[in-house]
C-alpha cells in the first residue's frame, strides 16, 4: 500500500446530487518547483511549494530511465520502504507522499533549510563540546529510533545529517539502508575473528546487496570491510567517526585513497589532535572498536560522561540549538 496515496480530499457532487469527499492524489501540477537543494547519484532534490497550502517541502525527483539503466530499482524500493517505516521521529526526514509521471518518481519530504551538517561544520571548522553534544545527542536519538524499527542506515556521515531551520537534525539518504525482517530481533553482531564461520542469516540472504554495498570510505566500519555485512553496531562506528569529526574538523580515518583509508580503519590507525577533550576522547575510543560486539551500545553512549546532563527523548527535540562555536 502506497502510504503516499490519497492525501487531500476534494468535495464533489455525485450522480444523485449527494456531496461526497473524493480522495485526490497530488501530482506535479500541485507544486511549484524552486531551486535545486542537493544532487544525489540517482536523484535531485528541489525546493518546492504546495500551490494549494503554500507549505514548503523538499521534493526528491528520480528519473525512471536512469534508475532502470543503472539497475537501482532495489535501492529506490529500499529507500521508500525505509522512509515509510520511519514515520514519526523528529530526527528523521519525513516522507509525506509520493507520485510519479511518465518520466520520474517524486518524493515529497521535509524541507531541511539548514542544509547539511557538513556544510555548517565547514563554516566554523570545528564545533565546541556543547555543539557537539547537541548534534551528537540528536543523531544518537535518531539512530536509536531507526534501530528500534529494524533499520540499519549503513552510510551515516555529516553529509546525510541535515538540519531544519531550528538547527535540529534530520537524518536522510536511506537508499543504502538495511531493513531487518524482524525489527525486534536482537541482532547478534558478527564476530570479527570467526568470520569464516559466520552463518549467513536470513536477512543477509534477502539483502543480496549486503555483499556488494560499502558506505562512504571514511565512515565504513571494519566489519563491513572484513566480512561484508553491517550490523546495528556499524551505525555506532559511524557515530564515533562523526563525534570525532565535529570536534577535530576532520574524520579520524582519512588517507590519500579509499584503499589507504580502508587500511587505516581495519588497523584502527588514527590519533587524536592535541587538546581533544578527554570525555569525548573516551567516548570515541569506545565506539571505534574493531569488534562490533565490544562497541558501546546506544544505552551506554547515552550514559557516557560526555553526555552528562544531556536530555534525550522528547525534551531533546525542544531544546534550542546552542550558538555555533568552534572548538578552541
The helix (H) or strand (E) run that includes residue 77 is: helix 73-85
Crossing angle of the two packed helices 232-248 and 278-287, in degrees rounded to 10? 150
Q: How far is the CB of 5 from ligand MP6 (least distance, A)?
A: 18
Cβ neighbours, 10 Å, residue 166:
13
Q: Note whether 32 and 51 are within 8 A (CB).
A: yes
Residue number with the smallest Cβ distance to ligand MP6: 38
CB-neighbour burial class of residue 261 (10 A; exposed 0-12, middle 13-18, buried 19+): buried
DSSP states of 268-299? T---PPTT--HHHHHHHHHHS-SSGGGSPPHH
Q: Which is nearer to ligand MP6, 116 or 218 (CB)?
A: 116
Q: 224: closest CA among 153, 285, 127?
A: 153
Return the residue matching grid coordinates 579520524: 252
Q: Which is nearer to ligand MP6, 79 or 144 (CB)?
A: 79
Alpha-carbon span 240 to 206, nearest angstrom? 28
Q: Which is nearer to ligand MP6, 87 or 297 (CB)?
A: 87
Q: Indicate which residue of 30, 128, 141, 155 is catalytic.
A: 155
Q: Which is nearer to ligand MP6, 58 or 283 (CB)?
A: 58
Binding site for ligand MP6 (CB under 6 A): 37-40, 45, 58, 60, 93, 107, 109-113, 115-116, 159-160, 162, 172-174
Q: Which is nearer to ligand MP6, 162 or 246 (CB)?
A: 162
Q: How far is the CB of 47 from ligand MP6 (least distance, A)?
A: 7
CA atoms in the 13 A half-sphere facing the CB of 16: 0
Q: What is the DSSP letter of 48?
A: E
Angle at 291 between CA 193 and CA 145, to 5 degrees: 135
101 is catalytic: no
Q: Note whether 324 and 127 are within 8 A (CB).
A: yes
Alpha-carbon span 162 to 227, nearest angstrom? 30
Q: How far is the CB of 44 from ligand MP6 (least distance, A)?
A: 7
Q: Which is nearer to ligand MP6, 158 or 292 (CB)?
A: 158
Cβ neighbours, 10 Å, residue 206:
13
Alpha-carbon span 186 to 150, nearest angstrom? 10
Alpha-carbon span 175 to 162, nearest angstrom? 16
Enumerate the active-site residues.
155
Amino acid at each position: 500500500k502506497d502510504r503516499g496515496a490519497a492525501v487531500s480530499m476534494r468535495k464533489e457532487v455525485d450522480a444523485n446530487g449527494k456531496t461526497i469527499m473524493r480522495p485526490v492524489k497530488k501530482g506535479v501540477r500541485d507544486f511549484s518547483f524552486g531551486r535545486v537543494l542537493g544532487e544525489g547519484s540517482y536523484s535531485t532534490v528541489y525546493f518546492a511549494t504546495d500551490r494549494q497550502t503554500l507549505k514548503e517541502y523538499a521534493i526528491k525527483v528520480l528519473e525512471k530511465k536512469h534508475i532502470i539503466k543503472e539497475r537501482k530499482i532495489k535501492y529506490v524500493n529500499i529507500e521508500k520502504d525505509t522512509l515509510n517505516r520511519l514515520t514519526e521521529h523528529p530526527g528523521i526526514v519525513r516522507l509525506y507522499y509520493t507520485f510519479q509521471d511518465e518520466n520520474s518518481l517524486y518524493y515529497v519530504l521535509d524541507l531541511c533549510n539548514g542544509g547539511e551538517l557538513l556544510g555548517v561544520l565547514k563554516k566554523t571548522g570545528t564545533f565546541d563540546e556543547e555543539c557537539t553534544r547537541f548534534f551528537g545527542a540528536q543523531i544518537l536519538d535518531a539512530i536509536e529510533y531507526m534501530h528500534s524499527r529494524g533499520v540499519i542506515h549503513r552510510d551515516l556521515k555529516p553529509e546525510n545529517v541535515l538540519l531544519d531551520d531550528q538547527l535540529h537534525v534530520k537524518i536522510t539518504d536511506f537508499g543504502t539502508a538495511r531493513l531487518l525482517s524482524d525489527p525486534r530481533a536482537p541482532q547478534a553482531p558478527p564476530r570479527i575473528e570467526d568470520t569464516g564461520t559466520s552463518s549467513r542469516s536470513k536477512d543477509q540472504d534477502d539483502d543480496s546487496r549486503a555483499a556488494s554495498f560499502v558506505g562512504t570510505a571514511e565512515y565504513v566500519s571494519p566489519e563491513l570491510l572484513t566480512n561484508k555485512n553491517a550490523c546495528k553496531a556499524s551505525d555506532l562506528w559511524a557515530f564515533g567517526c562523526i563525534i570525532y569529526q565535529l570536534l577535530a574538523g576532520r574524520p579520524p580515518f582519512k588517507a590519500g585513497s579509499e584503499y589507504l583509508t580502508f587500511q587505516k580503519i581495519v588497523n584502527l590507525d588514527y590519533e587524536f589532535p592535541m587538546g581533544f577533550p578527554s570525555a569525548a576522547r573516551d567516548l570515541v575510543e569506545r565506539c571505534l572498536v574493531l569488534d562490533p560486539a565490544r562497541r558501546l551500545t546506544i544505552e551506554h553512549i547515552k550514559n557516557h560522561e560526555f553526555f552528562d546532563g544531556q536530555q534525550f527523548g522528547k525534551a531533546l527535540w525542544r531544546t534550542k540549538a546552542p550558538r555555533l562555536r568552534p572548538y578552541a
